[in-house]
Amino acid sequence: MFNNLSNINQQQLKVWVEEALAQTKSGNLPTYIPLLAEANPNSFAVVLRSLDNHILSLGDVETKVPLMSVIKPFLLFYLLSKFGNEFVFNIVGKEPSEKPFNSLEQLEADGGWPINPMINSGAIALSSLLPGNTATERCKNFCSWFNNYGICKLFLDENMLASVRSLPNQNNRAIAQKLLESGYIKDAEITLDTYNQICCLSGSIFDVANLGILLVKPPNSEWKKYCLTVQELMTTCGLYEASSRYALEIGIPTKSSVSGIVLGVVPTVGVIVCYSPPLDRQGNSVVGLFLLEVISRNLDSSVFC
Ligand code: GLN
């Protein structure tokens, strides 16, 4: 059904979006990144794109948004394609966490072993593997690779990066320090700087949809197995503590970000990307999750159907 996007019209999508937008007020903007705290809570965009290039969209689809944690599945995919499973999963685990995305407590409880790549500890550890001499070079290489393969125009949002740096994140610093002590990273400064830069890679919701397609159909068939690993980890860990709940309610691999993006990957079929800044207590876009649930239900796109 999702395959045939032409069966749903703009009017149908509009009805679902209106239902979802009624949830806007139940979320809050994040406060720890000043520029995100100033976002317009009513900004909204959605793009559905199938592999056979049917596209349906609504809202401010050209607004540029920092990917933040939506970069995490792509970081994992990139490193798997370069270094393979064994190398990558020596640095990071595959288990879900019941703790928040930025939990130091979880990392400490695991003796400094980052439990999965979809939370900060795992993504910070993985950032240290990116090829390049400086953080800027690492971020540039990483960004160009995706712009080449993903047919998108990601760019480093320097204002967002300045905003992230203006209020140093002590929690992420403590995570990096712990990872250094446990031997999973070698340089806390360059690793954190790399992580912050890749989180500030930005693009339109169309760009995120094009990028997401790489996780459905990789440019190289050898990488199919890595797409499946990324999809699995998105399903079990992509929405942090709420992952298992939404694995049932949405039923597709999903990743959220503090900037309000929710990326849903429909295996073998396509992607659904939504942007709406107000977040729930776990840090997931309330409108995004609601809309993904409605779309998934109506289009029978859950992998459990
Ligand atoms: N850069 C953000 C952070 O480290 C990313 C977190 C997120 O999107 N949830 O807190």
Q: How far is the CA of 9 from the centre of ligand 1 (A)?
A: 35
pLDDT at 1 over 50: no
pLDDT in tens, 242-253: 999 999 899 999
- Ligand 1 pocket, Cβ-based, cut-off 6 angstroms: 68-69, 101-102, 120, 172, 199, 257-258, 283
Rounded to 5 degrees, what angle do the CA atoms 91, 97, 103 make? 80
75's CB contacts (< 8 A; 6+ apart) are 117, 123, 126, 127, 130, 142, 198
CA separation for the pair 259, 171 (Å, rounded): 18
25 CA to middle of ligand 1, Å?
22
- Dihedrals φ, ψ of 123, to 5°? -70, -35
Reported as a single tens digit per residue, the pLDDT across 236-295 is 999 999 999 999 899 999 999 999 999 999 999 999 999 999 999 999 999 999 999 999
CA proximity to 192, closest of 256, 257, 102, 105? 102
CB 167: neighbour CB atoms within 10 A?
A: 12
* CA atoms of 243 and 249, how far apart (whole Å): 10
Domains, the chain: 5-299 (3.40.710.10)
Listed range (29-38, 66-75, 190-199, 289-298) with the worst mean pLDDT: 289-298
The span from the CA of 68 to the CA of 52, in Å, is 28
